[in-house]
Amino acid sequence: MRYKIELSYFGRDFHGWQRQLNAISVQQTIEDAINVVFRDEIMLIGCGRTDTGVHARKYIAHFDSDKEYNNDAAMKLNNYLPFSIAIHSIESVSSDFHARFNAVKRTYQYQICLTKNPFFVDSAWLIYQHLDVNLMNIAAEQLFKYTDFTSFSKLHTDVKTNNCDVQYAKFELNENVLIFTIIADRFLRNMVRAIVGTLIDVGKGKINIDEFSTIIEAKDRSEAGQSAPAHGLFLVDVTYP
């Protein structure tokens, strides 16, 4: 039987989603919990990787098991798991469901605090400088004109293509928190953080709109700005057909 699991996690305590040899990941923590609580050695397949320190408000994974799982199992897992991970639901799905390959779009948000706020210390990038948000949004619209985002990709990854279909990208100000929302069919490793870091350069007046477009066209990571800190980034939605 194949099961779909929906969860959230606060990434501060984890080295990303994917299991690693010498670091604690979200995947390992949940797999180990299922093994302890239900005596079931399963392997979770997630909807994608998240880097160290990145958070997820909505994350989807699947696993196969001969045992029966339901939302009562989710409650038992929540009682065992650390507070930084919350299981929202576990439900049976068809055997051809795949958390990663069936996803048609993903939504990320990046939070930027414009004033000091202790409640955002682990979930937003603090920037004191004035940012031209209107100019940043004009620059963000340039993303719709391109499909190859090599300039915003981590180097030496094992993906076959750096093409992505960016469908939405916009900054919105909510009191003193600037939230960047971006939606695409897929994302490259480090892509959102690299885009945000480069758009911040636009907002600070370090580069203009044409230079932002030139950076994309260069297909060279060294041309783009610094990556925004991981702790401001959230995966907020994953959409399936």
Q: Which residues are catalytic?
A: 51
CA distances from 3 to 43, 48, 104, 119, 218 (A): 11, 17, 19, 35, 43
Rounded-to-integer distance, Cα 231 and Cα 122, Å:
6
Query: With contact defined as beta carbons under 8 Å apart, do 84 and 12 qualify?
Result: yes
Query: Both tokens of residue 182?
Result: 């971006």
Report which of 9, 97, 90, 94 is spatially closest to residue 53, judged by C-alpha positions.
9
Integer-rounded Cα radius of gyration of the chain: 19
Query: Both tokens of residue 168?
Result: 């939405």
CA distances from 128 to 131, 197, 234 (A): 9, 15, 21
Query: With contact defined as beta carbons under 8 Å apart, do 234 and 56 qualify?
Result: yes
Rounded-to-integer distance, Cα 132 and Cα 145, Å:
22
CA 105 from centre of chain: 12
